[in-house]
């Protein structure tokens, strides 16, 4: 089913946060890491008031969302999360394409993301290319977050 994508509402921040946490857990990360990422994965009414944030709805259910940080000619895809049950249904693609169009309509010439390593292939499939890797070690384990971009 094709989702409806519209502006996220301040009263939905708990649902959006739960989606981000569920999506991150889907990749099998230790709970200690999820706890460390809680600040990054938690949305607030102030955040969605300040950053363009859009929810993907299937029927009445919010199944995913994206948020952008507009920075002149560049737009950062700050969030793009789906409920695990909604993965593989084209909803991630719809959210990405919405983010891309919104960024372009607001003057961005480049869309970029600091990605979870598990999402790198998705972003490449959406036409993004890797331009770097951000060190992000945890518990002594070397980790790198792919930095991807796409001209708009």
Q: What is the pLDDT along the chain (152 residues), one digit of tens a residue?
A: 789 999 999 999 999 999 999 999 999 999 999 999 999 999 999 999 999 999 999 999 999 999 999 999 999 999 999 999 999 999 999 999 999 999 999 999 999 999 999 999 999 999 999 999 999 998 888 999 999 999 99
Whether the CB-CB separation of 76 and 53 falls below 8 Å is answered with: no
User: For residue 6, which phi and psi values (nearest 5 degrees)?
Assistant: -145, 175
Upper half-sphere CA count for residue 12 (Cβ side, 13 Å):
20
Give the residue among 47, 24, 20 at the shortest CA–CA distance from 138: 24
At residue 141, the pLDDT reads 87
At residue 112, the pLDDT reads 98
Residue in the block written with tokens 């946060």: 17
Write the burial class of residue 56 (CB in 10 Å: 0-12 exposed, 13-18 middle, 19+ buried): buried
Pairing of strands 53-58, 144-151: unpaired
At residue 18, the pLDDT reads 98
Does the predicted TM-score (pTM) go above 0.75?
yes
CA distance 128 to 110: 10
Buried b (16+ CB within 10 A) or exposed e, 75-109: bbbbbbbbbeebeebebbebbbebbbebbeeeebe
Q: Which two tokens stand for residue 145?
A: 């977050």
CATH T-level topology, domain 4-151: Aminopeptidase (3.40.630)
């Amino acid at each position: 089913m094709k989702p409806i994508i519209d502006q996220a509402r301040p009263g939905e921040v708990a649902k959006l946060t739960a989606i981000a946490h569920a999506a991150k857990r889907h990749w099998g990360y230790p709970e200690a890491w999820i706890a460390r990422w809680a600040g990054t994965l938690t949305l607030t009414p102030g955040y969605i008031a300040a950053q363009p944030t859009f929810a993907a709805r299937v029927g009445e259910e919010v199944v995913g969302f994206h948020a952008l940080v507009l920075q002149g000619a560049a737009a950062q895809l700050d969030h793009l999360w789906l409920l695990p049950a909604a993965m593989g249904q084209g909803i991630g693609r719809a959210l990405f394409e919405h983010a891309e169009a919104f960024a372009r309509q607001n003057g961005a010439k480049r869309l970029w993301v600091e990605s979870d390593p598990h999402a790198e292939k998705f972003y490449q499939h959406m036409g993004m290319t890797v331009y770097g890797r951000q060190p992000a070690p945890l518990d002594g384990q070397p980790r790198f977050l792919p930095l991807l971009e796409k001209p708009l």
